[in-house]
């Protein structure tokens, strides 16, 4: 974990992770387990009713001018990760999240410019479409192993995307009813699919890390924390305070210090937990069984 990433994660220790559209729907809403269950006939109906996805099909092969290849169904399975199926619609969210980073990668490394042929032009033996799909597959694998871990520890009753879609619809209905009843709500009146997915995933990560710590899967004994503090002292530097040992500041102006362990123990513990959690998930990702439905995978293109 980089220093900048850890600094950002430490900021979140005082409060539950939020996005601009993730605020709770009551002034002091009760903490609740992620509601990804109640999959059944309604969930399947919601999934089956999907008529569009922000991807166009064309496969790895060139399109025929007179008979373009059909788009894969949003409910078509694009991959199976440790026996959990991933539909095209879910995969599309990860593609959307990786668009900006993909543009930046090809612009910085190859000087590529945006245009009608950006996604299908080969740079260094790979097209941006190939690259973004590979990144999205890695992302969905990481999320899936976390969902399965959360299921194992009782935080998720159903990890399927159909259950998520049902829950998303129910949450938006609840918000709409609250507005009609002139009740105060926080965040959007209606979540978009992507925003609600991001909100749920952030809460899942937060809850799961805490659960693993409470279950002593991630341990935080004092010896380990002190060793971590010693190895990462620069991560806890701050403006000089009384009693702290001063370091040489880069420009010789404001003294920089590393506070004593006892003073920053809470921050050290959170940073240590963050690193251990990341290592745990990475280990699960490496051992995950990923089977790609190549026909569907190739049929998905990005525009």
**Alpha helices in 112-192, H assignment, sequence order:** 128-152, 161-180
Q: What is the pLDDT of residues 269-291, one digit of tens each?
A: 999 999 999 999 999 999 999 99
Does some domain include residue 236? no
φ, ψ for residue 224, nearest 5 deg: -65, -40
Q: Which residue, 264, 265, 247, is CA-closest to 256?
A: 247
- Establish if 71 belongs to a structural domain: yes
Is the CB of residue 71 less than 8 Å from the CB of residue 134?
no
pTM for the model: 0.72
Say if 151 falls within a structural domain: yes
Number of domains forming the structure of the chain: 1
Euclidean distance between CA atoms 29 and 283, whole angstroms = 34
In a domain, 281, yes or no: no
Q: Would you tell me how many other CB atoms lie within 10 Å of the CB of residue 166?
A: 24
User: pLDDT at position 70, please?
Assistant: 74
Phi, psi of 300 (to 5 degrees): -85, 120
Predicted pLDDT of residue 69: 63
Q: Compute the C-alpha angle 123/297/60, nearest 5°.
A: 45
Distances (CA, A) of 143 to 46, 50, 90, 150, 247: 22, 22, 11, 10, 40
Query: Is residue 157 in some structural domain?
Result: yes
Whether residue 88 is contained in a domain is answered as yes
Tens-digit pLDDT profile for residues 44-76? 333 433 333 333 334 444 444 444 567 899 999
Q: Is residue 201 part of a domain?
A: yes
Residue 283 lies in a domain: no
- Provide the domain limits for residue 75: 21-219+288-301
Mean pLDDT of the chain: 80
């Amino acid at each position: 974990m980089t220093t900048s990433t850890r600094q950002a994660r430490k900021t979140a220790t005082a409060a539950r992770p939020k996005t601009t559209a993730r605020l709770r729907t009551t002034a002091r809403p009760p903490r609740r387990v992620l509601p990804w269950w109640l999959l059944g006939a309604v969930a399947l109906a919601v999934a089956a009713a999907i008529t569009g996805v922000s991807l166009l099909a064309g496969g790895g092969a060139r399109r025929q001018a007179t008979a373009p290849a059909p788009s894969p169904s949003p409910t078509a399975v694009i991959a199976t990760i440790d026996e959990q199926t991933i539909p095209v619609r879910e995969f599309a969210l990860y593609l959307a999240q990786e668009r900006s980073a993909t543009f930046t990668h090809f612009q910085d490394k190859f000087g590529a410019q945006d245009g009608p042929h950006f996604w299908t032009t080969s740079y260094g033996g790979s097209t941006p479409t190939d690259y973004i799909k590979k990144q999205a597959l890695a992302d969905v694998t990481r999320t899936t192993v976390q969902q399965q871990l959360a299921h194992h520890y009782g935080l998720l009753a159903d990890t399927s995307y159909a259950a998520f879609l049902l829950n998303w619809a129910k949450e938006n209905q609840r918000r709409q009813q609250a507005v009609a009843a002139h009740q105060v709500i926080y965040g959007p009146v209606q979540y978009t699919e992507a925003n609600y997915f991001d909100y749920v995933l952030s809460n899942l990560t937060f809850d799961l890390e805490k659960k693993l710590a409470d279950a002593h899967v991630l341990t935080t004994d004092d010896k380990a924390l002190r060793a971590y503090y010693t190895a990462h002292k620069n991560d806890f530097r701050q403006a000089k305070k009384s009693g702290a040992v001063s370091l040489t500041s880069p420009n010789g102006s404001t003294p920089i210090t590393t506070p004593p362990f006892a003073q920053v123990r809470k921050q050290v513990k959170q940073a240590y937990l963050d690193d251990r959690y990341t290592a745990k998930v990475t280990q699960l990702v490496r051992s995950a069984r990923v089977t790609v439905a190549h026909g569907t995978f190739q049929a998905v293109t990005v525009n």
